[in-house]
Structure formats: C-alpha cells, structure tokens
C-alpha cells in the first residue's frame, strides 16, 4: 500500500476558520524560512486578511525511471561520462576506469514517461545543447540527467528529496534525513557553466517544485510501492492505489515503447 507523506511531518498548517489541512513539512532543526529563527515543530493556524488558496498546480506521479530501451543509451553514457560520481552523495565510481557502473544510475530529472507533457508544455526550450537536432523532443538530453547511486535514484523519483537551484543548489530532503544528504550541495561537476552539457537549472527547478507539491500541499501525495518481486500481482496493487490508473497507463506505455524499439533494433 502507498505510504502517506504526512507521517513524517512535524510542522502542520490548518485553516483557522475551518480546521481544514492546508499542508505541512518536516523541520530539520536548521533555518527553514527567510527568518533568522528556525521553525519550531508544532501546529500552525494561518490567518490572513485575504483569501487563502492552496495551489491547484498539477502534480505528476512517476515511475522509477531506470533506463529500459536503446533510446536511453546515449543519455546514460553521456551522464556517466560527465559526472563520474553520485552528484548527490559525492560517492566516486572507482570502477569507471573499467567501464563498470554497477550501483550508479543516470536519472532523468523530468520523467521520461511524461514525454507527452514535456512536448505539450514545450519544456524542450530548457535544453540548450541540442539546438541543431531535428525530430527530437530533447527529453533525453544529458542536461535532463544526473548520476546517482541506485538507492538515491529511487528516492529522487519518489520526490523524497530534490535540489533547489535557487538556494545554492542545496539538497533538500522531505523526510527524515537518514541518508546524510540533507544540506549537501549538488556536485559542481554536473553544473559547470562552461560545459554545454551541464544540467539544466530549469529542470532542477521543475523537480524541486514537484517535491514541494507532493510533500507540503494538503495531506501530501502517496509514496508508491515500487518493489514487485516475481509472482507479485502488480496490476492488483495498482488497482488499489491512488493514481493507479495513471501509473498503469505509464507502465503500459513504457513497455510498449520498449517493445517497439526492440523491434526496430532487430529490423536493422
């Protein structure tokens, strides 16, 4: 069953007139607001002379976007070559000299399974290293990728942590910081301004905003089950989950794309 993000909140916001939950977050003990004082864990009623309206901006659920098709090869290889380490934890891949990348994965910042939305909102404009490429959405640009350890990649896709490009590229965790990454700075190797393949600040900003929506708005969005051992009825799990229909459609589209690309590879 999906996990509720409210479980680890220690700061809660309610509408003072109705008691309705507006949102909340987890305070880690460091300064979390523009104030010089840290936020104290507790319940907060928000009062305003104006009407308070919680954003209805869309939140995009996503799959765990591990590469599954040949179309991702150039993306994966390019991100590995640019970063060479987990840019979140700083762990260096000592096996890179032999071409071994076990335990490291190239993560899409904007999810590949939402390519139709990427195209619809013209997010390809955020990519600057493929200006001469025709017939591509640019979603597989190296600028839409970061190299991470496998475990952090899964948590990144679940919107459990993000990078705030407007706060010195600080890593922000949205649940208890058992991974030791909260407050770290995104490794400069992936954002060198002189490198045309540097990660796009705009896609980082998009992911950070999605994390805020998923973790802080209202009751929060679910953390989905991702471990489906052999013999597990994945479809039954999806039927019982919030956004189950959407996740099923994304899974189906992803597998159909993989099958189509496998067929094209064989034809060639």
Q: Is the pLDDT of residue 151 over 60?
A: yes
Torsion, CA 13, CA 18, CA 21, CA 24, rounded to 10: -10
Residue 68: predicted pLDDT: 43
Q: Is the pLDDT of residue 145 over 90?
A: yes
Residue 170: predicted pLDDT: 96
Q: What is the number of structural domains in the chain?
A: 1
Question: Is residue 29 one of the residues assigned to a domain?
Answer: no
Place of tokens 């993560």: 107
> Which of 165-174, 217-226, 253-262 shows the highest mean pLDDT?
165-174
* More confident of the two residues 12 and 68: 12
Per the CB < 8 A criterion, the answer to whether 226 and 64 are in contact is yes
Q: What is the pLDDT of residues 70-79, one digit of tens each?
A: 457 889 999 9
Residue 196: predicted pLDDT: 96
Question: Is residue 184 one of the residues assigned to a domain?
Answer: yes
Q: Please list, in sequence order, all residues whose beta carbon lies within 8 angstroms of the beta carbon of residue 152, skipping any fewer than 6 positions away.
A: 86, 88, 89, 161, 179, 181
Per the CB < 8 A criterion, the answer to whether 9 and 26 are in contact is yes
Q: State how far the Cα of 71 lies from the Cα of 262, in Å rounded to an integer.
A: 10
Q: State how far the Cα of 190 lies from the Cα of 207, in Å rounded to an integer.
A: 16
Question: Is residue 89 one of the residues assigned to a domain?
Answer: yes
Question: Is residue 247 one of the residues assigned to a domain?
Answer: no
What percent of the chain shows pLDDT beyond 70? 72
Question: Is residue 169 one of the residues assigned to a domain?
Answer: yes
Q: Is the pLDDT of residue 219 over 50?
A: yes
Structural domain including 188 reads 70-215
Residue 59: predicted pLDDT: 83
Residue 4: predicted pLDDT: 75
Q: State how far the Cα of 197 lies from the Cα of 134, in Å rounded to an integer.
A: 18
Question: Is residue 210 one of the residues assigned to a domain?
Answer: yes
Per the CB < 8 A criterion, the answer to whether 109 and 199 are in contact is yes
Q: What is the DSSP string of 64-103?
A: -----SGGGHHHHHHHHHHH-B-TTT--B-GGGGGT--TT
Question: Is residue 232 one of the residues assigned to a domain?
Answer: no
Question: Is residue 103 one of the residues assigned to a domain?
Answer: yes
């Amino acid at each position: 069953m999906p996990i509720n993000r409210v479980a680890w909140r220690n700061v809660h916001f309610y509408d003072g007139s109705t008691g309705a939950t507006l949102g909340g977050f987890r305070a880690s003990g460091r300064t979390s607001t523009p104030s010089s004082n840290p936020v104290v864990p507790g319940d907060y009623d928000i009062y305003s002379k104006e009407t308070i309206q919680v954003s209805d901006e869309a939140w995009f659920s996503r799959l765990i976007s591990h590469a599954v098709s040949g179309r991702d090869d150039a993306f994966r290889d390019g991100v590995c070559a640019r970063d060479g380490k987990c840019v979140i934890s700083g762990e260096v891949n000592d096996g890179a000299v032999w071409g071994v990348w076990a335990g490291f994965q190239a993560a899409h910042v904007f999810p590949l399974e939402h390519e139709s939305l990427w195209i619809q909102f013209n997010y390809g404009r955020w990519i600057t290293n493929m200006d001469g490429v025709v017939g591509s959405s640019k979603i597989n640009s190296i600028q839409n990728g970061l190299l991470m350890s496998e475990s952090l990649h899964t948590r990144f896709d679940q919107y459990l942590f993000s990078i705030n490009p407007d706060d010195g590229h600080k890593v922000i965790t949205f649940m208890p910081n058992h991974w030791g990454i909260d407050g770290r700075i995104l490794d400069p190797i992936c954002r060198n301004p002189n490198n045309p393949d540097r990660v796009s600040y705009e896609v980082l900003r998009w992911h950070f905003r999605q994390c805020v929506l998923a973790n802080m708005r209202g009751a929060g969005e679910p953390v989905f089950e991702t471990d489906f051992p052999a013999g597990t009825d994945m479809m039954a799990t999806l039927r019982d989950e919030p956004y189950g229909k959407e996740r099923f459609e994304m899974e189906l589209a992803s597998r159909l794309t993989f099958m189509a690309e496998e067929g094209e590879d064989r034809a060639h």
